[in-house]
Amino acid sequence: MEVITLNNHEYYVKPGEFTVTPHEEYNNLIIYPKVGALERIIGLLNDIVEHIPHPTLSIHGWTDGGFVPIGCSNVYEKVYVYPTEQVVRTSNIPSNVVFHEPCLNPTVVFIPHKDTKVNIQPTSYVLCDRSIELEANEFLIVPLTKTNWILYVPRSYFTEFNASFRYYFDNKGQFRYDNLIHLCIMVKNAGPLFEKVLTENMHAIDRWTILDTGSTDGTQDIIRRVLRDKKGTLYEEPFINFRESRNRCLNLAGTNCKYLVMLDDTYALRYDLRVFLDTVRGDQFASSYSLLILSDDVEYYSNRVTFSEKGLRYIYTIHEVIQDTNNKTNVVIPKQAAYIHDHRAEYMEKRTMDRKRYDLQLLHDMVRDDPTNPRHYYYLAQTYNLLEDYENASYWFRKRAFTELKGHDQEAVDSCFELARMYNFKMNKPWAECKELYEKSYEMDKTRPEALYFIGIHYYLEDDKHTAYQYFKDAFAIGYPIHAQFSLKPTLSFHFLPKFLAPLCYDYKNWQLGFDACKLFMENNQPNADQYSTMQSWFSIFQLLCTIPAGNHILPHAVTKPNIVFVADGNWNTWTGRDILTKGMGGSETYIVEIARWVQASGAYNVFVFCNCLTSELFEGVTYLPLRAYSTFIFNNYIHTSIISRFSEYIPLTMEGFVDNVYLVLHDLGPTGTIIPMNSKLRKILCLTKWHEQYFLETFGSFTNRTDFFYYGIDPSRFKPSPKVKNSFIYSSFPNRGLLPLLQMWPAIKRALPDAVLHVYSDIHGKWVNDVAKDQMDEIRRILNNKIEGVVMHGWVSKPELADAWSKASVWFYPCIFKETFCLTALEAAASKTVAISTPLAALQETVGDRGLLIPGDPMEKEWQNRAVQELLHVLQDPIRMADLVERNYQWAQSIPWKQRGNEFKAKYLDIHDTYVGEMGNWVDDLPANGGHKQRFEEALSLAKPKRILEIGTYAGRSLIEMMKRCPDSTGVAIDLWTDYNEDNISILKNIQENNIESLFKTNVKYAGMEHRVRSFKGDSVDRLTELLVQRETFDFIYVDGSHTCLDCYTDMILAWKLLVPGGTMAVDDVLYNYDKVMAGDLLGYPLKAKETFMTKYKGQYEVISDSYRLFIKKL
């Protein structure tokens, strides 16, 4: 035998009768599963005799140290035990538990063992194993769910049993008795919301006790109606105070159930408290349990679950809490297991506010009676705050925050924090005072982020984004202080903080932190939450930015032909350019393949397409590469232009790489995200039609000057001349775009045209379309399953097969219910000489226009369908009109073949960026020739990675623009006289004004899209450089390329050196210019002597990077 303590009682048990089962998640608890199972049996045995006087219990067998008989001894007058072996009577066994004494007619018989043979009278309740069978006609047989126990109810007790236990039978007649949870509520005038609260708690409870303290609004009727199918009692007594009345409610509840759950009249349990408590039912570690309460944007933990037998009660007359005495270990129930939602309603808020004056009096009484308890200060402050009495609230918050009295540390932290917020937003105190309090609050508990967040918000609203970013970043690093369990603010940590932090992470290039912030937001907010779509867009952006290759990015070498890349994410299946010959291909993919092949065919560019292909492939000179290679590619190669299809999240990644020009091509109504950064590299957003452009600008109006439209094209050679099949209809769009109304009209068309056949080239079983338009697809399948006559389903087919179908079709009837941005099938109808009939919805007003029949209205309405069939028949019966429509539509299609589209795209969007006007040769042209000077220049730029570039002597701007192209994040300053002067008799310098070079500089900057990145200063370099020094401007790359006379060059170098930051690079042009004349004695005419004198003067203050035709030095 061994002694074991269970529920604070000792039991003498056999080895192995009770064992602890570790729980994977709740591993700190000491759980004896058998204890929980036996407690349920004890509860049932006790509840059976709840209304029977002087009950007796007969138990045949002694197991588990007498856990059951001892547990029943407080209810039964006498417990008779008939053990099958010798039992030593120990001190823990109550005197009314007797062994081997005769009991002729017990109220209840309990048989814990199988195969026990007992002579049972039909007047006793019997609880036994299912293997023991009694005379069925003498008893009501009631199996206990989730056990092997069965309850036999004698006929004499049928009525009483049904009255007491009807609550435990479900609608299938199963007996789900349990004594796990007893709900306790104290209430007064709870209002109509209380019905919702009770209903939401019904599933969790076994019994209830509600103490009504004087409701006059019908609350009692709500209780009786809603809880009529749960066992419980409504008591009505006058209110005393919160402590006494709550404790009275607990006393009334008694000990029938294992746990007492005390809720307010606005509290509803979420998730499944039953599952948790049933799992831990045999735990011997916890003294009580706390549940998280979610109330508006505040979370806090509150001790709401107690053990009925422990007798824990409330202390304090207001803001009452469960006692600490005998409550050594309060365990927090995980939020994912269960929590409390606090329902809020305006009338409930008013009820609360009406009570606050009464609360104040109670709190002041408590301070008077117990002045050493700082908790009372905190709740006085909170009450005054709610009453908007901020002077008194601030007094008590300060007193609580900085008192020397110990205890309830989190209240002190929160008091300091709330005092800071009150100063900041309610009392308009100076920011220095507010910040000091926020900082003190943080110092009191550095595991809480709230104070840092509010400091950050202040700076954010003051437009000091850098300081705001630092505070937000620090607050985010702290995380959500779930351990504090007091005044938690989940909306702050999970919504507002990541929402403000994410765009700042973009500004300060912290891609991983931005990704983490967005991920946290999306994991803790519903899709309908404010700013969810914006954060989803940032998430996609940061996800791509995090793919930027790590380490220093070395500037790539120049290429003989500029690189053009297309980025085509999306598509459900893998594809490559070659698929256009053999497989069906969507409109956007066709666009990419065709434009790419014709740009490549021009011979002016190297073209690459990044798409959903598996490996690299060459098709018609275009290199197709997997999307995963895109990031590495643009950080290792100069890209003239990147054309992004559909997915706007690729724009920020692309702008970070060595890419000069970026275009976004929209094929859908809008971009995939809501964020499109404004950047000089983003040249145009290309829509597919004029309607599409106008639709896009309704949402993104700031891009008015950067938006254009560019039609799809067609390959006319695909459509071979072929005799048309009379009354042959064709449908080749996605099925959710108009197939349903077409099928609904088809019987009427078939009646009018008996030989009509509809060929459908569309997949009605595709996953995507069934996800987004399930009801439509179900109806389409229903119609087709009814064997509709004259409809042939082909599914998706290859382009050659589809082109052959178009050549034979005579009617394209497209009752469109989808906003098309172009509609490639309209173009295919035109190219194949198929008459086009549709609606004027969206872009169809352009891609069909007056070259087909457009019928206004809603194709899903019966009236439109009847009218459309009649107008269709009128066209088909008018061969002259039909021929005119077909021919004009055909000529339109012939005017936009893909070859022409590709060449026009190249001329309109690619070639213009290679044009400079009024330029002289420079380092970009690798001058002097064949000396590797361009490579040296680019290597120096790569090492410097400059953000701020100064060029002294810029002429028409080509050098500065090319430097900035290679440094995507840079800004530039240009200094030039832009007036005629004579230097070494160079003719173009004598005609600067005549050639209007200053204007050409501005034109080149505009063509480069750098108007917002470049500042220009006209005048003598000494004057302008001095002004920059006075303004305390600094630069990290300075290119000295002004006057080449020795003294001018030396002066420029001296002033530039003062503007250069430590670690910055200074480049001096043409230091070996006319070297032979310098060697002949003309020292003052050229830069060499200036360079040598400077290097001597500043020796030890620089590091030489390169010293050849141009000098590159790094400032130490």
pLDDT in tens, 969-994: 799 999 999 998 888 777 778 888 88
Q: Comparing 237-251, 267-281, 842-856, 963-977, which segment has the lowest mean pLDDT?
A: 963-977
Judged on CB neighbours under 10 Å (0-12, 13-18, 19+), 109 is: buried
Q: Which pair of structure tokens corresponds to residue 534? A: 């914006």
Task: Evaluate if residue 166 carries a pLDDT over 80.
Answer: yes
Does residue 280 lie within any of the structural domains? Answer: yes
146 and 227 together in one domain: no
**Is the domain of 340 the same as that of 357?**
no
Residue 800 in domain: yes
pLDDT value at 6 more than 70? yes
Q: Are residues 357 and 304 in the same domain?
A: no
Distances (CA, A) of 828 to 588, 666, 813, 839: 15, 20, 13, 17
Is 80 exceeded by the pLDDT of residue 426?
yes
The answer on 163 and 197 residing in a single domain is: no
- Confidence at residue 914, expressed as pLDDT on a 0 to 100 scale: 56
Does 549 map to a domain?
Answer: no
Q: Does residue 176 belong to any structural domain of this protein?
A: no
Pick the closest to residue 686 from 659, 664, 653, 711 (CA basis): 664
Please state, in angstroms and rounded to a whole number, the distance separating the CA atoms of residues 364 and 354.
17
Q: What is the CA radius of gyration of the chain?
A: 42
Asked if pLDDT for residue 583 goes beyond 80, the answer is no
CATH of the domain at 801: 3.40.50.2000
pLDDT at 832: 97
Helix (H) or strand (E) holding 838, with range, is strand 835-838
Cβ atoms within 10 A of the Cβ of 359, count?
Answer: 20
Distance separating alpha carbons of residues 590 and 715, to the nearest angstrom: 10
Pick from 611-620, 882-891, 928-937, 989-998: least confident: 928-937
Domain of residue 48, CATH code? 3.40.50
- 71-80, 537-546, 927-936: which range is least confident on average? 927-936
Residue 912 pLDDT class (50, 70, 90 cuts): low
For residue 545, tell me if it sits in a domain: no
Between CA 628 and CA 293 the distance in angstroms is 45
Q: What percent of the chain has pLDDT over 70?
A: 98
* 245/234 Cα distance (integer angstroms): 14
- Which residues face 153 on adjacent strands? 140
1006/883 same-domain check: no
3-state SS, residue 883: helix
Tens-digit pLDDT profile for residues 229-269: 999 999 999 999 999 999 999 999 999 999 999 999 999 99
Instruction: Check: CB of residue 278 under 8 Å from CB of residue 294.
Output: no
Domain boundary among 344, 362, 389: 344
Average pLDDT over the chain, rounded to an integer: 92
The pLDDT score that the predictor gives to residue 555 is 66
Please give the backbone phi and psi of residue 919, each rounded to the nearest 5 degrees, phi first.
-100, 150
Q: What is the CATH number of the domain that holds 951?
A: 3.40.50.150
**Phi and psi torsions of 1014, nearest 5°:** -120, 130
Residues 671 and 799 in one domain: no
Question: What residue numbers bound the domain in which 407 lies?
Answer: 353-452+478-503+521-536
Q: 821 and 696 share a domain?
A: no
Checking if the pLDDT of 113 tops 60, the result is: yes
- Which pair of structure tokens corresponds to residue 92? 């823990």
Separation between Cα atoms, residue 18 and residue 29, nearest integer Å: 15
Give 30-82 as a DSSP string: -B-HHHHHHHHHHHHHHHHTTT-SS-EEEE-S--GGGHHHHHHTTTSSEEEE-
| 470 within some domain | no
186: amino acid identity, one letter: M
Q: What is the mean pLDDT of residues 1078-1085?
A: 86
Strands 1111-1115, 1060-1068: pairing kind: antiparallel
In which element (H, E) is residue 235 found?
strand 231-236
- Same domain? For 959 and 1002 the reply is yes
Q: Which of 860, 862, 866 is nearest to 741 (CA)?
A: 860
> Which of 323, 344, 365 finishes a domain?
344
pLDDT at 787: 83
Three-state SS string over 523-556 comes to HCCCCCCCCHHHHHHHHHHHHHHCCCCCCCCCCC
3-class DSSP state of 97 = strand
- Residue 131 within any structural domain of the chain: yes
Of 283-292, 568-577, 634-643, the one with minimum mean pLDDT is: 568-577
Q: What is the pLDDT of residue 468?
A: 97
Residues 647 and 569 in one domain: yes
Whether residue 1073 has pLDDT greater than 80: yes
Residue 556 has pLDDT above 80, yes or no: no
Reported as a single tens digit per residue, the pLDDT across 620-655 is: 999 999 999 999 999 999 899 999 999 999 999 999
How do residues 457-484 score in pLDDT, each as one tens digit? 999 999 999 999 999 999 999 999 887 7
- Residues 327-362 pLDDT 10s: 889 998 988 999 999 998 777 777 777 777 778 988
Structure tokens at 443: 């110092």
Same domain, residue pair 590 and 646: yes
The answer as to whether 461 is a domain residue is no
**With b meaning 16 or more CB within 10 Å and e meaning fewer, what string describes 850-863?**
ebbbbbeeebeeee
Domain boundary among 706, 729, 757: 706
The CATH number assigned to the domain holding 320 equals 3.90.550.10
Q: Is the pLDDT of residue 915 over 60?
A: no
Cα–Cα distance measured from residue 197 to residue 193, given in angstroms and rounded to the nearest whole number: 6
Percent pLDDT > 90 in the chain is: 75
The reply to whether 1062 and 1108 lie within a common domain is yes
pLDDT band at 692 (very low <50, low <70, confident <90, very high): very high
Number of domains, the chain? 6
pLDDT at 917 over 60: no
Q: Is the pLDDT of residue 780 over 70?
A: yes
Residues 6+ apart with CB under 8 A from 1019: 975, 977
Tell me, what CATH number does 496's domain have? Answer: 1.25.40.10
In a shared domain, residues 862 and 929: no
